[in-house]
């Protein structure tokens, strides 16, 4: 049983195309995230949703638009893809706790823009 | 602005040795400091975490040391094993408010047999 799943796992596309990545979690968490991992392995937050409400939008270009149809799903749509968008995109989910908060990451979507 | 600085970038340790990775943070509002382990082709997974009200936390072979006044924390892997070879990320977040993780730049650990 996969806790956080993402589709597709790999995405190869041409510059200028529009693509979507889907994420689903079956952990009952109320908060979901999108992180981007660049070619140097650096991980950076892009968006955070809590109960379907956007709470963090980390200076990401407007071409990136997250959508959360319900608490268990957070999708990422990217318009007019650019070469610099090539990266691994990770979805994560968590539930707040007084002593700690484990974020569970999906397996990642490897996006290559040609 | 990199709010969490991590070193070294890479580390080679012999089997049975001790691996030490260091991190420093700037934002004093951070109150949760996890370490994540990432294997090639996989997502990061929580290894161990600490809150600033304790100076050390140990889970098996993994220990976090935390120095609040210096705003530094480190991961010690005792009796390092080849299976520990992975990339390790320190991170920091706030348990209330902004809960997104701010990651360090990662340390690639190789444990040689």
**Minimum mean pLDDT range among A57-61, A84-88, B17-21, B43-47:** A57-61
pLDDT tens-digit series, residues A17-62: 999 999 999 999 989 999 999 999 999 999 999 888 888 888 789 9
Q: pLDDT tens, A67-111? A: 999 999 999 999 999 999 999 999 999 987 767 788 999 999 999
Closest residue in B to A31 (Cα) is B99
Mean pLDDT of B63-92: 97
CB nearest to B99's CB, from A40, A41, A101: A101
Is the N-terminal amide bond of A43 cis, ω within 30° of 0? Answer: no
For residue A21, with 0-12 CB atoms within 10 Å meaning exposed, 13-18 middle and 19 or more buried, which class applies?
A: buried
Q: Which of A103, A106, A107, A108 to mutate to test the interface with B (most CBs of B within 10 A)?
A: A103
**Cβ contact (<8 Å) for B103 and A44?**
yes
pLDDT confidence of residue A53 = 87
Of residues B32, B95, B100, nearest to A48 (C-beta): B100
The rounded percent of chain B whose pLDDT value lies above 70 is 98
């Amino acid at each position: 049983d996969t806790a956080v799943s993402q589709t597709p796992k790999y995405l190869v596309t041409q510059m200028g195309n529009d693509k979507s990545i889907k994420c689903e979690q079956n952990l009952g968490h109320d908060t979901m995230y999108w992180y981007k991992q660049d070619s140097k392995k650096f991980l950076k937050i892009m968006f955070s949703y809590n109960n379907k409400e956007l709470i963090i939008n980390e200076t990401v270009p407007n071409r990136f638009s997250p959508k959360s149809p319900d608490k268990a799903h957070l999708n990422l749509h990217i318009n007019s893809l650019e070469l610099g968008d090539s990266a691994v995109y990770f979805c994560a989910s968590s539930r707040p706790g007084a002593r700690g908060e484990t974020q569970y990451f999906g397996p990642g979507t490897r996006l290559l823009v040609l | 602005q990199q709010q969490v600085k991590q070193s070294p970038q890479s580390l080679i340790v012999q089997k049975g040795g001790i691996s030490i990775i260091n991190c420093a943070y700037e934002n004093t509002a951070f109150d949760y400091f996890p370490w994540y382990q990432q294997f090639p082709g996989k997502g990061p997974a929580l290894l161990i975490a600490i809150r600033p009200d304790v100076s050390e936390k140990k889970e098996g072979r993994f220990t976090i040391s935390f120095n609040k006044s210096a705003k530094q924390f480190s991961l010690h892997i005792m009796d390092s094993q080849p299976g520990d070879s992975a990339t390790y990320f320190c991170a920091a977040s706030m348990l209330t408010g902004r809960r997104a993780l701010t990651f360090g730049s990662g340390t690639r650990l190789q444990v040689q047999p």
